[in-house]
Amino acid sequence: MSKKYFSFIFYSGVILVCILFLPSLFMPKKIVIFGGKILGHWSKFCVKFLLSTEIRIIGKENILENQNFFIACTHQSEFETFYLQSIFNGPKFILKKELISIPIFGWYLRKIGSIPVERNKISKEKMNLMDTIKNSSYDNRPIVIFPQGTRTDPQDRPDFKKGVARIYDELNISCLPVVINSGEIWPKTGNLARNKKITISILQPIKPGLGNKEFLVSLQNTMYEVLNKTSNLSSA
């Protein structure tokens, strides 16, 4: 299936769900969060049935219950932005500001409490970003950060941004690493792949208490080690 055809089907469904849930923008937040779960399941349906892809989740027992934590997730595809909403309870994403400006979809992102970042630009909002993150981290709904900073090609292993270590230090809560090899099926650039496997690895949480550098090195090494093991490319 061509990427254009897949994208047309997928985003038609996304737009339909967003329109159906448009009234929820004026309702309690839990209604919008339910809409997010539907989008997560829709992304699974499209990948599974349109691309004949198996989705495997490893480590669900590592998900923390009844406590605050944040998620550090690899970012190779649009898939994880949607699918994580079906695994976790109303996750809030740290994402580029342009996404918040998209009509309807951006309104939804703002409603669930996503945190926009103006990349490569110094602004008053960016200077107050950590205060915003702190204020959003104490409601048992995890914040999601992509420590690579942007979507990456599946073979790339860029160094993690230092911002994830600052969040770990400032919030003083556990970090739950999540590794997803989605770019091998639904890449940022290039063609889609079929008959492969997306593995979602939920790793053991990193408890607070490490120094910033120690945490960053440990997080990056652990996540890339798991990504290398679950990669379809390494087993090809």
Instruction: At 215, give phi and psi (nearest 5°).
Output: -65, -50
How far, CA to CA in Å, does 185 sit from each of 53, 131, 228, 233? 8, 37, 15, 11
Nearest to 10 by CA among 37, 50, 55: 50
For residue range 73-122, list pLDDT tens digits in order: 999 999 999 999 999 999 999 988 888 888 888 888 888 888 888 765 54
Is the pLDDT confidence value at 234 over 60? no
Instruction: Tell me the pLDDT tens digit for each residue of 115-163.
Output: 888 765 544 455 577 878 887 777 889 999 999 989 999 999 999 999 9
Helix axes 3-20, 29-45, angle to 10 degrees: 160
Half-sphere exposure of 179 (CA within 13 A, CB side): 21
Distance (Å, rounded) from C-alpha 219 to C-alpha 93?
Answer: 19
Please say if the pLDDT value at position 176 is more than 90: yes
Q: Which residue range(s) make up the domain with 15?
A: 3-235
Please tell me the distance from the alpha carbon of residue 57 to that of residue 51, in angstroms, as a whole number. 18
Task: Give the separation between CA 26 and CA 38, rounded to whole angstroms.
Answer: 18
- Token pair listed for 53: 């892809």
Q: Is the pTM of this model over 0.85?
A: yes
Mean model confidence pLDDT for the chain: 90
Both structure tokens of 174: 């556990």
The total number of structural domains that make up the chain: 1
- Which residues face 234 on adjacent strands? none
State the pLDDT at residue 120. 57
* CA gap 76, 179 in Å, rounded: 10
pLDDT at position 123, please?
45
What is the CATH classification number for the domain harbouring 165? 3.40.1130
What would the pLDDT profile of 177-209 be if each residue is shown by its tens digit? 999 999 999 998 889 999 999 999 999 999 999
Q: Helix (H, G, I), strand (E, B), or coil: what is residue 217?
A: helix
Output 172 or 117, whichever has higher pLDDT: 172
